[in-house]
């Protein structure tokens, strides 16, 4: 009983860290720092998944934790850092909405997420059921970052952060997804990042910028 309570408190602490990182991502303009925060999100997911795997005794969750460490803490951040160095896109442009307003909207989304997750948490039986609200909040905050940024690469980081929230929600509600599905998602993420990297180079070559508002000129033509 004491072990379960201690694990539950540790998982709540990790979930709180995940939420704080999501808010930090909303306030950062430098793309390199966003990638670093994304890697920290992956590290927290690795730790939380490892704790759940240890408590539940599920071998598949250990594989999920290892995959998270390799993909989201090592591989994807390294690929993104290399990409922005080649593109010279270390700084993000001004967001569509100023940061104080964005943070205020983020607080509203967190309150909404906790209210939405309350009935789900009551039905769940996992040790992480009390963190479902935070998982939904992370998803909504990542989506908010996507729609309030101009640069394509920043929006991709927001998309990857949203996937982190989905993974954490799956772990919180049902002890994770089947391994086959997780491997498929991991492969899709890698392929998507490579394809988007090519797309970024094409935008940069055409417009000498990664600001997506330049694409509107193509639509007008």
Given pLDDT bands bounded at 50, 70 and 90, which one contains residue 19?
very high
Per-residue pLDDT, 218: 44
- CB burial of 181-218 (b: ≥16 within 10 Å; e: otherwise) equals ebeebbeebeeebeebbeebeebbeeeebbbbeeeeee
CB distance 121 to 132 below 8 Å: yes
Q: Which residue has the tokens 């989304």?
A: 109
154 Cβ partners below 8 Å, 6+ apart? 31, 34, 92, 145
Instruction: Return d(Cα 49, Cα 65) in angstroms, integer.
Output: 6
Evaluate if residue 41 carries a pLDDT over 90: yes
Lowest mean pLDDT among 74-83, 152-161, 200-209: 200-209
Evaluate if residue 65 carries a pLDDT over 80: yes
Evaluate if residue 148 carries a pLDDT over 80: yes
Per-residue pLDDT, 166: 82
Per-residue pLDDT, 165: 86
Compute and round to an integer the Cα radius of gyration of the chain: 18
Per-residue pLDDT, 23: 92
Instruction: Return d(Cα 38, Cα 112) in angstroms, integer.
Output: 23
Q: What is the pTM of this model?
A: 0.78
Lowest mean pLDDT among 2-6, 85-89, 109-113, 148-152: 2-6
CB distance 161 to 39 below 8 Å: no
Distance between start and end Cα atoms, the chain? 66
């Amino acid at each position: 009983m004491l072990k379960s309570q201690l694990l539950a408190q540790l998982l709540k602490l990790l979930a709180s860290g995940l939420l704080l990182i999501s808010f930090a991502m909303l306030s950062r303009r430098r793309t390199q720092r966003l990638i670093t925060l994304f890697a920290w999100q992956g590290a927290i997911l690795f730790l939380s998944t490892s704790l759940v795997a240890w408590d539940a005794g599920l071998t598949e969750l250990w594989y999920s934790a290892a995959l998270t460490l390799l993909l989201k803490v090592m591989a994807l951040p390294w690929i993104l850092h290399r990409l922005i160095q080649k593109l010279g896109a270390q700084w993000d442009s001004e967001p569509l909405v100023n940061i104080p307003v964005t943070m205020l909207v983020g607080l509203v989304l967190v309150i909404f997420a906790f209210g939405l997750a309350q009935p789900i948490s009551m039905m769940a039986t996992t040790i992480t059921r009390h963190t479902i609200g935070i998982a939904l909040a992370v998803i909504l905050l990542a989506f908010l970052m996507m729609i309030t940024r101009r640069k394509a690469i920043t929006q991709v980081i927001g998309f990857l952060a949203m996937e982190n929230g989905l993974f954490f929600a799956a772990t919180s509600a049902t002890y994770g997804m089947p391994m086959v599905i997780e491997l498929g998602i991991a492969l899709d993420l890698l392929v998507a990042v490579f394809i988007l990297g090519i797309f970024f180079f094409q935008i940069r070559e055409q417009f000498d910028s990664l600001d997506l508002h330049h694409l509107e000129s193509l639509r007008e033509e």
